[in-house]
Structure 1
Amino acid sequence: MNVQLFIPCFVDQLFPQTAFNMVKVLEKAGCTVTYNANQTCCGQPAFNAGFWDDAREVCSKFIKDFSGTSTDYVVAPSASCVGFVRNYYSTVFENTPQLGEVQRLKERTYEFTDFLVNVLKVENVGASFHAKATYHDSCAGLRECKIKEEPRKLLSNVKGLELVEMNDVETCCGFGGTFAVKFDPISIGMADQKSINAKNTGADCIISTDLSCLMHLDGHIRKKGMGLQTMHIADVLASGW
């Protein structure tokens, strides 16, 4: 499998080790991984803020940066960004000559766990991580990428990991991009509820497919002194080997 890495802005700037760990897992699974250093944003922030013309310009660059054949998959450690490409690029480029190219890009763009389980047919990467953990379903992963069982299948095969479900597991953590800034009190309340539910499981850490959610939760957890760790699933799957 040929994989083009799509590394979202905040992963590149704040959590680069997660990107390296994703490469580690993909290469172990037999993929040939490439990275286009010219890549930038997928355009989601501008689109969500209502600047659709600006978003279209950024999205056009993204399409060019990730051009390839039907066997060149685009894989990212972020369901949020993948969900935007899959579900909203058609809106951005509606009634434009680029729509056909957009459709082809959508069909080969995958979130990391979705790609492992449903394309590579891999559920056990040989990882080992001794902890009690709970999994957070990100809104984008669950609702936009339709990911539910894939991360859990992968985590169930991690040696030493005990996975427990929290109450209201499908409820938003409160991040929502600019939502966390525009509606700060609501966002904090949602993060508090999610963190308490995770803590009540007795877990040591919260695992998710989306570092945006984890970054938001980690800030709240640290402020409250709740003693929970947050980890991206790629970091867990790259552990112990």
Structure 2
Amino acid sequence: MNLNKKIALFIPCYVDQFYPNVAIATLELLEKLGCSVSYPIGQTCCGQPMANAGYERGTLGTTKHFLETFKDYDYIVSPSGSCVLHVKEHAPAIAGMELEQQTLHDKIFELTEFLTDVLKVEPIKGSYPHKVGFHASCHGHRGLRLASCSERNEPFFSKTKQLLEQIDGLEWVDLTRKDECCGFGGTFAIMEEALSVQIGKDRLEDHLVHGVEILTGGDMSCIMHLEGIAKRNKHPLQFKHIAEILNEVIS
């Protein structure tokens, strides 16, 4: 699909610093799907870590800068549900910029949301013969509503499964606890280290007992937490962002 719109790529700090391969995969994937993508070089942190630590007023500057940096684009796409949710719902309101903030709210998308709801990607041609377990990160899952929630009485849907189930050979593994937190939670992993690690071990065990080969997700922060626990405990799991899997499959 050739989307004749100006699309900006928003790359969160931790992806930029620790997982640049995810940023590259996201860019390549969007370009393969016919998008003309720009990377605004002046972008900075969206302010989520500071806001989560209780310093919301300290994020006024980053919020204003984000608005200015991305104002001329039709769509903003990011491989991170947590950062997108912060920009959409948790950034501080700025007096006199209500219209700009509402416009931003309506044009920023998490990657799988953009692929399914805007590009309406299908079919996906390619093969990926692996058993894949999906970690539903809390911000994307319950904040952006990228999938149905187990605590709600609602019909099942999953934007990620909608994409991955199209791929030949890929086995989507149904977990026992489909949308349980991994325990990361940003500063929670620092303030409550022992509890954070135990939650992560429980989340990993669900994947391991179901024979998952590759654990994927839409937030590298959660995947980073789970991968660290897996490596320390010598678990034979691979970890990939969904952008990496889709970019490998789509030629």
1:212 aligns with 2:221: yes
Given that 1:128 and 1:239 are in contact with CA atoms closer than 8 Å, whether structure 2 keeps it comes out as no
Q: Which amino acid aligns with 2:93?
A: F
Extract structure 1 runs of 4+ deviating beyond 6 A. none
The offset of 1:224, in angstroms, is 0.9
The offset of 1:42, in angstroms, is 0.5
**TM-score in terms of structure 2 length:** 0.91
Partner of 2:82: 80
**Corresponding residue to 2:37 among 14, 33, 36:** 33
Q: Which amino acid aligns with 1:13?
A: Q
The offset of 1:125, in angstroms, is 3.6
Partner of 1:221: 230
Q: How many percent of aligned residue pairs carry the same amino acid?
A: 37
Given that 1:127 and 1:238 are in contact with CA atoms closer than 8 Å, whether structure 2 keeps it comes out as no
Q: Which amino acid aligns with 2:31?
A: E
Secondary structure of 1:130's counterpart equals coil
Secondary structure of 2:185's counterpart equals coil
Partner of 2:115: 116
The offset of 1:45, in angstroms, is 0.7
Secondary structure of 2:130's counterpart equals strand
Partner of 1:145: 144
The offset of 1:129, in angstroms, is 2.1
Partner of 1:238: 247
Partner of 2:50: 46
Residue deviations 1:166-202 (CA, integer Å, cap 9, x gap): 1112110000001000000110110000000010111
The offset of 1:127, in angstroms, is 4.0
Question: Which stretch has the larger CA shift, 43-52 or 105-114?
Answer: 43-52
Question: Which stretch has the larger CA shift, 121-130 or 77-86?
Answer: 121-130
1:57 aligns with 2:61: yes
For structure 2, the 5+ residue unaligned runs are: 148-157
Question: Which stretch has the larger CA shift, 190-199 or 155-164?
Answer: 155-164
Structure with greater proportional strand content: 1
Partner of 2:21: 17
Residue deviations 1:98-153 (CA, integer Å, cap 9, x gap): 12111100100000000000011113343432211111111011111100111101
Secondary structure of 2:170's counterpart equals strand
Secondary structure of 1:4's counterpart equals strand
1:172 aligns with 2:176: no
Q: For residues 41 and 222 of structure 2, what CA distance do their matches in structure 1 show?
A: 25
**Corresponding residue to 2:164 among 151, 155, 171:** 155
1:93 aligns with 2:93: yes
Secondary structure of 1:160's counterpart equals coil
Partner of 1:130: 129
**Corresponding residue to 1:5 among 4, 9, 13:** 9
Secondary structure of 1:159's counterpart equals coil
Q: Which amino acid aligns with 2:52?
A: N
Q: Which amino acid aligns with 1:83?
A: L
Secondary structure of 1:102's counterpart equals helix
Q: Which amino acid aligns with 2:118?
A: V
In angstroms, what is the RMSD of aligned CA positions? 1.2
Secondary structure of 1:169's counterpart equals coil
Q: For residues 179 and 193 of structure 1, what CA distance do their matches in structure 2 show?
A: 17
Secondary structure of 2:129's counterpart equals strand
Q: For residues 238 and 28 of structure 1, what CA distance do their matches in structure 2 show?
A: 8
Residue deviations 1:193-215 (CA, integer Å, cap 9, x gap): 00000101111011101100000
Distance 1:53 1:40, change over 3 A: same
